[in-house]
């Protein structure tokens, strides 16, 4: 990788070799201030619109228009079973068995539903381990969950923080904290990838360490789904959830995915919040008393499927599948991000001005690089925007750049390097 060059010609050569390059034309790329295609590096916040999304939604409008309520049974893809059409691709996406996944609701809602089942504190085992500075929704969810059980956040929530002078967590420190908490630890809930630093956690090692002390281990995969190749089942992860509008390009506020390990597939005794869509379908419509959950993750469903967001998600997942799945996407992703890293290092800026806080090892990060800009960060962000580079700003001074393999090109990344070089002058 040391043979990278910062020139447009070199980037064009990488693009010519890229077997995924044609997927870019399957997305709508927003125009920059000059009317030309922008460099969109915000797929970690809201992925771009697949060109197939509109027709997928139109199809459901057409069925509703033509069939009314009969669309549940006689639609092109009957709404009764619509969510089931997402199961196999979702299972492949996260490395799970079909019985272990379901698509439903939104991310924070699903996090709560899972915590109701998988945070079951007792008098002695009541602590939750999470990242310090986790995404706010996760912090609020956990605060409210521990309060629901009569604990204060101070007593029950333990936060992992980097060593002084470091920006990311070391796996050995996470493992040591888990051992230290021992049998006081009820549940671990971490991001698969930290939204701020872009650090990818060693989910297999964390799960092993958690299980060794008898804790339940779950992950919020908001920044990992569609970004990392994962093997949740083989890693023995207990539960997980993710949103679909970031790296999965399924539209603002889009639906969410849930994973529950097979070992819980036939556990009707597990406490949960119930709704009719999680009930055994054989007598769901008999409207009888007595909830009997479906097998697997599907047994956590509450409501009948949200067809419109799911139609978009189906179209978007089809692109991931067509590209060859996460293993293929990840290969390009690592190269794109390593190229971006090269271009930033190539500027030779002092760390007192700008540093990359994302880990340098591709195995411990996804596609995102987080730049800590010590001086004039906001001005740099605005300068990038005026050059048609859409990045993401996080207070107080972090710029997040996330080149994604489905629609970003090496040419995009080269343009960022060129703009940064111009800014430095």
Residue 40, annotated as binding a ligand: no
Longest dimension (CA), the chain: 72
Residue 408, annotated as binding a ligand: no
The minimum distance between CB 194 and ligand PLP, in angstroms, equals 8
Choosing from 63, 131, 138, 341, the residue that interacts with ligand PLP (CB under 6 A) is: 138
Which residue, 48 or 243, has its beta carbon nearer to ligand PLP?
243
Q: Does 243 bind ligand PLP (CB under 6 A)?
A: yes
Separation of alpha carbons 363 and 171, rounded Å: 13
Residue 223, annotated as binding a ligand: yes
The minimum distance between CB 109 and ligand PLP, in angstroms, equals 7
**Contact indicator for 142, 331 with CB cutoff of 8 Å:** no
Q: Does 222 bind ligand PLP (CB under 6 A)?
A: yes
Residue 136, annotated as binding a ligand: yes
Stretch that binds ligand PLP, among 220-228, 368-376, 388-396, 410-418 (CB under 6 A): 220-228
Q: Does 108 bind ligand PLP (CB under 6 A)?
A: yes
Stretch that binds ligand PLP, among 85-93, 100-108, 173-181, 259-267 (CB under 6 A): 100-108
Choosing from 90, 106, 197, 414, the residue that interacts with ligand PLP (CB under 6 A) is: 106
Residue 339, annotated as binding a ligand: no
Which residue, 243 or 380, has its beta carbon nearer to ligand PLP?
243
Q: Does 249 bind ligand PLP (CB under 6 A)?
A: no
Please give the structure tokens belonging to residue 403. Answer: 């080149």
Which residue, 168 or 414, has its beta carbon nearer to ligand PLP?
168
Residue 168, annotated as binding a ligand: no
Q: Does 367 bind ligand PLP (CB under 6 A)?
A: no
Choosing from 63, 220, 392, 412, the residue that interacts with ligand PLP (CB under 6 A) is: 220
The minimum distance between CB 105 and ligand PLP, in angstroms, equals 9
Which residue, 248 or 413, has its beta carbon nearer to ligand PLP?
248
Stretch that binds ligand PLP, among 114-122, 218-226, 288-296, 404-412 (CB under 6 A): 218-226
Choosing from 5, 85, 137, 139, the residue that interacts with ligand PLP (CB under 6 A) is: 137
Please give the structure tokens belonging to residue 45. Answer: 């916040």
Q: Applying CB under 6 A, what is the total number of residues that bind ligand PLP?
A: 12
Q: Does 107 bind ligand PLP (CB under 6 A)?
A: yes
Stretch that binds ligand PLP, among 73-81, 135-143, 280-288, 325-333 (CB under 6 A): 135-143
From the number of C-beta atoms within 10 Å of its C-beta (0-12, 13-18, 19+), residue 328 rates as middle
Q: What is the CA radius of gyration of the chain?
A: 22
Query: Residue 297's closest CA among 82, 87, 72?
Result: 87
Which residue, 364 or 409, has its beta carbon nearer to ligand PLP?
364
Residues 187-206, mask of contacts with ligand PLP (x by CB under 6 A): ----x---x-----------
The minimum distance between CB 135 and ligand PLP, in angstroms, equals 3
Choosing from 24, 223, 330, 332, the residue that interacts with ligand PLP (CB under 6 A) is: 223
Residues 144-183, mask of contacts with ligand PLP (x by CB under 6 A): ----------------------------------------
* Whole-number Cα distances in Å, 39 to 30, 67, 415: 9, 42, 8
Residue 283, annotated as binding a ligand: no
Residue 107, annotated as binding a ligand: yes
SS3 for the chain is CCCCCCCHHHHHHHHHHCCCHHHHHHECCCECCCCCECEECECCCCCCCECCHHHHHHHHHHHHHHHHHHHHHHCCCCHHHHHHHHHHHHHHHHCCCHHHEEEECCHHHHHHHHHHHHCCCCCCCCEEEEECCCCHHHHHHHHHHHHHCCCCHHHHEEEECCCCCCCCCCHHHHHHHHHHHHHHEEEEEEECECCCCCEECCHHHHHHHHHHCCCEEEEECCCCCCCCCCCHHHHCCCEEEEECCCCCCCCCCCCEEEEECHHHCCCCCCCCCCCHHHECHHHHHHCCCCCCECCHHHHHCCCCCCHHHHHHHHHHHHHHHHCCCHHHHHHHHHHHHHHHHHHHHCCCCCCCCEEECCCCCHHHECCCEEEEECCCHHHHHHHHHHCCEECEEECCCEEEEECCCCCCCHHHHHHHHHHHHHHHC
Separation of alpha carbons 79 and 217, rounded Å: 33
Residues marked as binding? 107-108, 135-138, 220, 223, 245, 276, 304
| Contact set with ligand PLP (CB under 6 A) | 106-108, 135, 137-138, 191, 195, 220, 222-223, 243
Residues marked as binding for pyridoxal 5'-phosphate? 107-108, 135-138, 220, 223, 245, 276, 304
């Amino acid at each position: 990788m040391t043979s990278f060059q910062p020139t447009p010609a070199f980037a064009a050569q990488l693009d010519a070799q890229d077997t995924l390059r044609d997927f870019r034309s399957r997305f709508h790329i927003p125009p920059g201030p000059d009317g030309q295609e922008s460099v969109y590096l915000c797929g970690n916040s809201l992925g771009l619109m697949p060109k197939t999304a509109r027709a997928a939604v139109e199809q459901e409008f057409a069925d509703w228009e033509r069939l009314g309520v009969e669309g549940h049974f006689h639609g092109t893809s009957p709404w009764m079973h619509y969510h089931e059409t997402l199961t196999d691709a979702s299972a492949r996406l996260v490395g799970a068995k079909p019985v272990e996944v379901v698509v439903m609701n939104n991310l924070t809602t699903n996090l709560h539903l899972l915590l109701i089942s998988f945070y079951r504190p007792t008098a002695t085992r009541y602590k939750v381990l999470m990242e310090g500075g986790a995404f706010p929704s996760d912090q609020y969810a956990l605060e409210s969950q521990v309060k629901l059980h009569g604990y204060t956040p101070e007593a029950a929530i333990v936060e992992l923080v980097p060593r002084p002078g470091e920006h990311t967590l070391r796996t050995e420190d996470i493992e040591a904290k888990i051992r230290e908490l021992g049998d006081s630890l009820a549940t671990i809930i971490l991001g698969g990838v930290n939204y701020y630093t872009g650090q990818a956690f060693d989910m297999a090692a964390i799960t092993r360490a958690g299980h060794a002390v008898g804790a339940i281990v779950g992950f919020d995969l908001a920044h990992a789904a569609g970004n990392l190749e994962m093997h949740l089942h083989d890693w023995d992860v207990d539960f997980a959830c993710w949103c679909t509008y970031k790296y999965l390009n399924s539209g603002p506020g889009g639906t969410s995915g849930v994973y529950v390990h097979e070992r819980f597939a036939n556990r009707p005794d597990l406490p949960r919040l119930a709704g009719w869509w999680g009930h055994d379908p054989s007598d769901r419509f008999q409207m009888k008393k007595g909830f009997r959950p479906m097998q697997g993750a599907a047994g956590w469903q509450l409501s009948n499927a949200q067809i419109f967001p799911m139609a978009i998600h189906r179209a978007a997942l089809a692109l991931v599948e067509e590209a060859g799945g996460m293993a293929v996407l990840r290969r390009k992703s690592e190269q794109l991000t390593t190229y971006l890293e090269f271009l930033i290092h190539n500027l030779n800026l002092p760390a007192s001005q700008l540093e990359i806080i994302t880990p340098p090892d591709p195995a411990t990060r996804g596609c995102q690089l987080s730049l800590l800009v010590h001086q004039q960060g906001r001005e740099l962000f605005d300068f990038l925007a005026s050059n048609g580079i859409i990045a993401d700003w996080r207070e107080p001074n972090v710029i997040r750049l996330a080149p994604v393999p489905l629609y970003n090109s090496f040419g995009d990344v080269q343009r960022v390097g060129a703009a940064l070089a111009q800014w430095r002058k």
